[in-house]
Structure 1
Amino acid sequence: MSYISMKQLLEAGVHFGHETKRWNPKFKRFIFAERNGIFIIDLQKTLKQIDRSFDYIKDLSERGGVILFVGTKKQAQEIVELEARRTGMPFVTSRWLGGMLTNFRTMRTRIDRLNELDDLFESGRINDRPKAERIALGAERERLLRFVGGIRKMTRLPDAIFVVDPTKEVIAVQEANKLGIPVIALADTDSDPDVIDYIVPGNDDAIRSIQLITHRIGDLVVEARGGGEDVSDTRVEADNAEIGAAELGEEGDTTQLTSSQGRS
C-alpha cells in the first residue's frame, strides 16, 4: 500500500507541471504528456518515487536521524515551518544563507550570538544599556531570529535535507551535494533530478500539493519518533530588506538564491 493514494495526488494537483517553455530536459522521464502548454507529470512514477523516498525518511527517522526542512518560497514557508516544528526538526524558511551547511562552524557562532542576546533580553540586563544600544541589539536579535532561529538547536550537520523546489533552493542543494548529505525534494518540471537523491516529482508551487507531501513526511517522522519536540525558536516574520554578510557577521558565501517563478 502506497503512502499516498493516486486520488490524493490528483485532488492536490500534484500532476500539474510548469509551462512547456520553462522546463529541464533531464526531467523528461517523469513527464506524462503536455496539455495546453503545461506539462503533466506522470503520477504513476510519482507514486513509485514517493514509496522509495518515504521508505528512506521512515528508516532515517527510526534511527534518530535529523532532517533539515527547507522552503523559502512564499507558498511553502508556513507549511514547512509548521511541519518542522511538529516533528521537532530544524528548518529554514526566510532565506538560505550561503554556508549554512558548508560553513556550519561559522553559522554556529551566529547561533551562539543569538543565545547571548536572548539571555541579555530575558534577564533584563538589556535595561542597563543606553537606549540607542538597546535598539541596535534588538534589531540584531530580530535579524538573527529570522535567519537562524529555525536551526538554533541543530548542533551538527543534518543527516538529510528536505526541500520544496530544488531549483529555488539551488544553493542549499549544492551545499548538501558537496558534503554528501542526501537531498529529498518535491521537484517540478524545471528541476534537475540528477542532483536529488530522493525525488518526489510533483507540483512545487501549489499550496495543496506542497501541503500534501510535506504533511505526509511530517506524519512519517512523528510516527517513527513517537512525537516531535520543537527544536527552534519563535519565528520572526521577514521583511523585504536584504541582510548582507556584514550585518550578520558571516564569513561564508551569502549569495542570495535566485527566485523561481510561479505558475502562469
Structure 2
Amino acid sequence: MPETKDKKKDKDIEIPAELQEFIEAGVHFGHKKSVVHPGMFPYIFGVRNNIHIIDVEHTQKQLVKVVEFVQGIVQEGKVVLFVGTKVPMRRLVKALAEATEMPYVINRWFGGTITNWETISERIQYLKDLREKTKSEEWKKYTKHERLKMKRELEKLEVNLGGIENMKKLPNVIFVADAKENALAVKEANAKGIPVIGIIDTNVNPKNITYPIPANDDSITSVELILSKVKDAMLKNVKHEVKPEKQLNEIKKTSKDNKAVGKKKGGLLPKLKVSLRRPELKSRES
C-alpha cells in the first residue's frame, strides 16, 4: 500500500493566514496511520507523530464546491436532510437544520428511512395521530396505564422521527456530519441516487460521498466550523468566506514566493506554527 510522505520534517509548517481558521479548529488532525483508507491519500498532507495530517487546502477547495452546491439547492427550494448521530455533534447538526428549516436525524438512523420511505411515512403519520389523540376528548377514555404507555411511545417516536416529521418526500440531498458513523444513511442515499455531502476523516472511503469535505470529524470545533460555513451559505445565499480555487492558487503562489511572510495591508502575513498533537489521540483507535 502506498504511503504519504512527510512534506516537511522537523520544521514548522507554514500556512497562509487564509487557512489559519482550519488549523485553529483542529480540522487538520486525521487518524492513526494504521486505520487510514487508501482513498484518502489525495487529501493527506503527511504524517506527524504517527497521525495523518489532512491537507486543509483540500478542505478549503471542497468547501468551495459544497457552498456553491447548497446555494443552488436553496435557490431551487429543494430539501437537504442533515444527519449527525454522534452524541457530541447532535446539538450542532440540530441547530444547523433548525436555522435553515431543514429536516434532520440526530439520534438513531432507522434502516429504510430512504430505501423504504413509504413505511417510514406511515410511522410519521402514526406519530402525528398519536400526538393529536393526547389532545383530544378521546384521551380521557383511556385508563391511566394506557395513557402512560401511549405517552412513552409518543416520546420515543418524537425522539427518533421528530426531526423528519415535516419531510413530505425523499430529500434531494443528504448531509452527513460523520460519514463513517452514518454509513447506513450514505448507503441508502447511494442506492436511491441521492447526492451526499459528507465530512470525511482519514479512515473513510470517499468514493461513496458525492461532495466530500476532508476534516477531523471527532472535534467539535472542526465540525462546528464546517457546519457554520454551510449554514451561512444557505441562509445568506451568497458565497461565504471560502475562496474560489483561482484565489487559492494565488494564495499558494504568494505564500511560496514570500515564504508565508509576505506584505499585507496593515501588516505582515504571519508564519503560523501548526499544532501536531491531537487532543483525542488516546481515544482514537479507529
The answer to whether TM tops 0.5 is yes
- For 2:142 and 2:69, the matched residues in 1 are separated by 51
- For 1:15 and 1:146, the matched residues in 2 are separated by 33
Instruction: Name 1:257's counterpart in structure 2.
Output: none
Give % identity.
Answer: 38
- For 2:195 and 2:141, the matched residues in 1 are separated by 47
**Is 1:184 aligned to residue 197 of structure 2?**
yes
Instruction: Name 2:284's counterpart in structure 1.
Output: 263
Deviation of 1:22 after TM superposition, in Å, equals 1.5
Q: Which runs of 4+ in 1 moved over 6 A?
A: none
Instruction: Name 1:199's counterpart in structure 2.
Output: 212
Instruction: Name 1:156's counterpart in structure 2.
Output: 169
Q: Quick one: which amino acid aligns to residue 228 of structure 2?
A: H
Deviation of 1:224 after TM superposition, in Å, equals 2.8
Deviation of 1:127 after TM superposition, in Å, equals 2.6
> Matched residue of 1:64: which SS?
coil
1:54 equivalent among 60, 67, 75: 67
Q: Quick one: which amino acid aligns to residue 217 of structure 2?
A: D
> Matched residue of 1:21: which SS?
helix
Distance 1:68 1:138, change over 3 A: same
2:147 equivalent among 131, 134, 153: 134
Deviation of 1:93 after TM superposition, in Å, equals 0.2
1:21 equivalent among 30, 34, 59: 34
Q: Quick one: which amino acid aligns to residue 222 of structure 2?
A: S
Deviation of 1:5 after TM superposition, in Å, equals 4.2
- For 2:216 and 2:145, the matched residues in 1 are separated by 47
Instruction: Name 2:117's counterpart in structure 1.
Output: 104
Deviation of 1:223 after TM superposition, in Å, equals 1.7
1:78 equivalent among 91, 94, 117: 91
- For 1:143 and 1:24, the matched residues in 2 are separated by 36
Deviation of 1:124 after TM superposition, in Å, equals 5.2
Deviation of 1:198 after TM superposition, in Å, equals 0.3
- For 1:196 and 1:142, the matched residues in 2 are separated by 33
**Is 1:117 aligned to residue 138 of structure 2?**
no
- For 1:74 and 1:88, the matched residues in 2 are separated by 21
- For 2:113 and 2:236, the matched residues in 1 are separated by 28
Deviation of 1:128 after TM superposition, in Å, equals 2.1
Query: What's the TM-score once normalised by structure 2's chain length?
Result: 0.76
> Matched residue of 1:40: which SS?
strand
* Structure-to-structure mapping, 1:224-263, within 5 angstroms: 224=237, 263=284
Structure 2 portions without partners, runs of 5+: 1-16, 239-281
Distance 1:115 1:22, change over 3 A: same
- For 2:124 and 2:221, the matched residues in 1 are separated by 33
> Matched residue of 2:85: which SS?
coil
Query: What's the TM-score once normalised by structure 1's chain length?
Result: 0.82
> Matched residue of 1:219: which SS?
helix
- For 1:153 and 1:262, the matched residues in 2 are separated by 37
- For 1:146 and 1:262, the matched residues in 2 are separated by 28
Look at both structures and tell me which one has the larger radius of gyration over its CA atoms.
2
- For 1:70 and 1:5, the matched residues in 2 are separated by 29
Distance 1:124 1:9, change over 3 A: farther
Q: Quick one: which amino acid aligns to residue 200 of structure 1?
A: I
- For 1:5 and 1:50, the matched residues in 2 are separated by 14
> Matched residue of 1:117: which SS?
helix
- For 2:158 and 2:43, the matched residues in 1 are separated by 38
Instruction: Name 2:230's counterpart in structure 1.
Output: 217
The answer to whether the 8 A contact 1:31-1:40 is kept is: yes
- For 1:101 and 1:195, the matched residues in 2 are separated by 16
Structure 1 portions without partners, runs of 5+: 226-260
